[in-house]
């Protein structure tokens, strides 16, 4: 497995090998699916759209609908305006979404298609009460995370309105997490009896039930009227700097809704911060049910500590997710040895290094804009006890025989992951289960027969 990966690390400036990121539009597509009756539209050549639908479908094992402008060579030279016009007409006629959320690709960005103008030109074909919005998502900048963030922001830019009547709700932008995570965040908010608008929200969309009927627009997704009304909320909580902050800032700028950025609530400390923040904001006591969950998590951390203490971990993935995971493994007494993201930007390393410094961990390797080839090389030079990240890590895990926990995006080779959270105290409990399972499985598989234990 990965036999050609050398132990010797040659510095690379140009060749990307086994990336730890993908491109912007898929993130925009995912974000758009979190809005009810929204059809994502890819303004580029059709290959992108097919790839993005393919990857999301393989992750969720669910239908992922999206349309494309299907550029030809002619449109690529002379502009995709008429493609967009034809598309919008066909889409409303055939698929009747409430809103079309357009994103771009490297093609339409390079030729400089002016989406704002194009959208104003297609207005005659937009039925009454329906919307066409857009986000620019050039694939040659940032990563899929950037695309996600830009699309969430676009919903705010196009839709949110401050009507002058403040509501009692708070906005929560959950970041790029799974439907199970969004459901968990909503559950926490409801346990705390906090009126909220969560957006985007892919629960009920990408974990839809089997009923014998295909629903083009499943029940889930944030309602358009809620995104409009988000302009009246009393506060926005952006969970995740990379994924959610841009939309919250936009909402503050546009509708004067104050905002605060927290991390994605992965692990005990990040969840504590979220709960404390919510309690402070709403002047509500934390319900005992949440205290019980927290207590169960701490109990479990103590029960299982022997298997985590001092163990080295390699973590890769999207910045906001990785930040949460790093903090969590430290709280378990583990050492995050290699921390990698493919997404560019200095914020990632700065945030991770701050957490490491706070915990006096000094010899970790932290890299943004890195890839899995490099991570593997680092692991060849200094083995770790646990690897955490998306499906692509399974090759390294097998090559180096490292216990492996699938977390993040995409997970292409396992079922049911989107139903369960990794956020909140409950999510942290699940992470402990997954992490200890793989560690104990390896001990069971590799120990001498005379050391094989019944109780562990």
Partner 1 sequence: MKDFMDKVLEKYPAKTFKSRKEHIVIKKASEAPQKIIANTRTIPGMITNRGCCYAGCKGVVLGPIKDMIHIVHGPIGCSYYTWGTRRNKAKTQPGGQNYIEYCFSTDMQESDIIFGGEKKLRAAITEAVEIFNPKAITISATCPVGLIGDDINAVAVWAEKTYGIQVLSFNCEGYKGVSQSAGHHIANNNLMRSVIGTGTKVPTKKHSINMLGEYNIGGDGWEVARILKKVGYDIVCVMTGDGSYEEIKNAHTAQLNLVQCHRSINYIAEMMEVKYGIPWIKVNFIGATGTTQTLRDIALYFGEPELIEKTEQIIAEEIAEIEGQMQYYKTRLEGKTACLYVGGSRSHHYQTLLRELGVETVVSGYEFAHRDDYEGREVIPSIKLDADSKNIEHLTVEKDEKKYRMILSPEKYEELAKIIPLAKYDGLIKDENEGTIIIDDINHYETEEIIKKLKPDMFFSGIKDKYVVQKMGVMSRQLHSYDYSGPYAGYKGAVIFARDITSGVHTPAWRYVTAPWKVEPLLEGKVVGGDE
Query: Looking only at residues 371 through 430 of this chain, which bind partner 1 when binding is defined by CB under 8 A?
Result: 373, 392, 395
If one asks whether residue 14 binds partner 1 (CB under 8 A), the answer comes out as yes
Beta bridge partners of 101: 40, 133
CA distances from 437 to 386, 399, 416, 434, 444 (A): 11, 19, 17, 5, 10
If one asks whether residue 158 binds partner 1 (CB under 8 A), the answer comes out as no
Which of 36, 53, 312, 430 is the binder for partner 1 (CB under 8 A)? Answer: 53
Give which of 402, 386, 403 is closest to 339, Cα–Cα. Answer: 386
CB of 63 to partner 1, least distance (A): 5
If one asks whether residue 247 binds partner 1 (CB under 8 A), the answer comes out as no
CB of 73 to partner 1, least distance (A): 5
Which of 32, 35, 65, 197 is the binder for partner 1 (CB under 8 A)? Answer: 65
CB of 16 to partner 1, least distance (A): 4
Burial level of 186, CB count in 10 A (0-12/13-18/19+)? Answer: middle
The residues in 177-236 that bind partner 1, with binding defined as CB under 8 A, are 208, 210-215
If one asks whether residue 140 binds partner 1 (CB under 8 A), the answer comes out as yes
Measure the CA angle with vertex 211, ends 207 and 216; round to 5°: 65
CB of 5 to partner 1, least distance (A): 8
Which of 94, 302, 448, 454 is the binder for partner 1 (CB under 8 A)? Answer: 94
Which of 28, 30, 69, 431 is the binder for partner 1 (CB under 8 A)? Answer: 69
- The DSSP letter of residue 361 is -
Report the C-alpha gap between 118 and 366 in whole angstroms.
Answer: 42
Tokens matching residue 137: 């998502």
- From 84-92, 148-156, 161-169, 415-423, give the range in contact with partner 1 by CB under 8 A: 84-92
CB of 38 to partner 1, least distance (A): 14
Helix (H, G, I), strand (E, B) or coil at 52: helix
If one asks whether residue 106 binds partner 1 (CB under 8 A), the answer comes out as yes
Cβ proximity of 213 and 277 under 8 Å:
no
Which of 28, 34, 38, 55 is the binder for partner 1 (CB under 8 A)? Answer: 55
- From 20-28, 194-202, 289-297, 401-409, give the range in contact with partner 1 by CB under 8 A: 20-28
- Total residues contacting partner 1 (rule CB under 8 A)? 82
Cβ proximity of 192 and 278 under 8 Å:
yes
Which of 28, 29, 32, 107 is the binder for partner 1 (CB under 8 A)? Answer: 107
- From 12-20, 301-309, 357-365, 415-423, give the range in contact with partner 1 by CB under 8 A: 12-20
The residues in 31-50 that bind partner 1, with binding defined as CB under 8 A, are 41, 44-48, 50
Listed as own residue / partner, the contacts of 446-449 with beta carbons closer than 8 Å and 24 or more positions apart are 446/401
Q: Which three-class secondary structure string do you get for 56-74?
A: HHHHHCCCCCCEECCCCHH
Report the C-alpha gap between 259 and 261 in whole angstroms.
Answer: 7
Give which of 105, 95, 231, 221 is closest to 158, Cα–Cα. Answer: 231
If one asks whether residue 306 binds partner 1 (CB under 8 A), the answer comes out as no
CA distances from 307 to 207, 384, 446 (A): 33, 14, 15
Burial level of 111, CB count in 10 A (0-12/13-18/19+)? Answer: middle
Report the C-alpha gap between 225 and 232 in whole angstroms.
Answer: 11
Nearer to partner 1, 138 or 174 (CB): 138
Report the C-alpha gap between 22 and 32 in whole angstroms.
Answer: 17
CB of 428 to partner 1, least distance (A): 30
If one asks whether residue 333 binds partner 1 (CB under 8 A), the answer comes out as no
If one asks whether residue 130 binds partner 1 (CB under 8 A), the answer comes out as no
Beta bridge partners of 41: 67, 102
If one asks whether residue 141 binds partner 1 (CB under 8 A), the answer comes out as yes
Which of 37, 57, 249, 359 is the binder for partner 1 (CB under 8 A)? Answer: 57
Task: Give the residue carrying structure tokens 């892919």.
Answer: 202
Which of 37, 61, 167, 420 is the binder for partner 1 (CB under 8 A)? Answer: 61
CB of 369 to partner 1, least distance (A): 9
């Amino acid at each position: 497995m990965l036999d050609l990966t050398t132990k010797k690390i040659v510095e690379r400036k140009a060749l990307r090998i086994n990336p730890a990121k993908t491109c912007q539009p898929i993130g925009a597509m995912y974000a758009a699916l979190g809005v009810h009756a929204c059809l994502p539209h890819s303004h580029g050549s059709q290959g992108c759209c097919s790839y993005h639908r393919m990857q999301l479908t393989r992750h969720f094992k669910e239908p992922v609908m999206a349309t494309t402008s299907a550029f030809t060579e002619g449109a690529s030279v002379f502009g995709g305006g008429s493609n967009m016009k034809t598309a919008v007409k066909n889409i409303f006629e055939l698929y009747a979404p409430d809103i079309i959320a357009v994103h771009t690709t490297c093609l339409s960005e390079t030729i400089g298609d002016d989406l704002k103008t194009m959208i104003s030109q297609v207005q005659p074909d937009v039925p009454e009460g329906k919307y066409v919005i857009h986000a620019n998502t050039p694939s040659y900048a940032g990563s899929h995370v950037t695309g996600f963030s830009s699309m969430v922001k676009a919903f705010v830019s196009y839709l949110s309105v401050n009507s002058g009547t403040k509501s009692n709700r708070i906005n929560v932008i959950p970041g790029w997490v799974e439907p199970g995570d969004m459901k968990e965040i909503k559950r926490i908010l409801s346990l705390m009896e906090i009126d909220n608008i969560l957006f985007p929200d892919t629960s009920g969309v990408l974990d839809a039930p089997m009923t014998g009927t295909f629903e083009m627009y499943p029940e889930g997704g944030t309602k358009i009227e809620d995104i409009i009304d988000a302009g009246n909320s009393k506060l926005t909580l952006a969970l995740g700097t990379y994924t959610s902050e841009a939309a919250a800032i936009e909402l503050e700028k546009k509708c004067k809704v104050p905002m605060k950025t927290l991390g994605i609530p992965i692990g005990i400390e990040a969840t504590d911060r979220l709960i404390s923040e919510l309690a402070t904001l709403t002047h509500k006591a934390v319900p005992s049910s949440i205290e019980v969950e927290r207590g169960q998590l701490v109990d479990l951390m103590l029960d299982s500590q022997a298997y985590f203490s001092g163990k080295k971990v390699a973590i890769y993935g999207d910045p906001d997710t990785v930040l949460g995971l790093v903090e969590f493994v430290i709280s378990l007494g583990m050492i995050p040895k290699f921390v990698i993201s493919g997404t560019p930007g200095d914020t990632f390393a700065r945030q991770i290094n701050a957490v490491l410094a706070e915990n006096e961990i000094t010899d970790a390797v932290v890299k943004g804009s890195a890839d899995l080839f490099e991570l593997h090389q680092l692991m060849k030079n200094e083995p770790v006890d646990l690897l955490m990240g998306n499906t692509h890590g399974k090759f390294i895990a097998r090559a180096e025989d490292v216990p492996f926990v699938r977390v993040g995006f995409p997970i292409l080779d396992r079922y049911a992951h989107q139903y369960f959270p990794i956020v909140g105290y409950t999510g942290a409990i699940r992470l402990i289960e997954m992490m200890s399972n793989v560690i104990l499985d390896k001990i069971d598989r590799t120990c001498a027969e005379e050391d094989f234990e019944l109780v562990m």
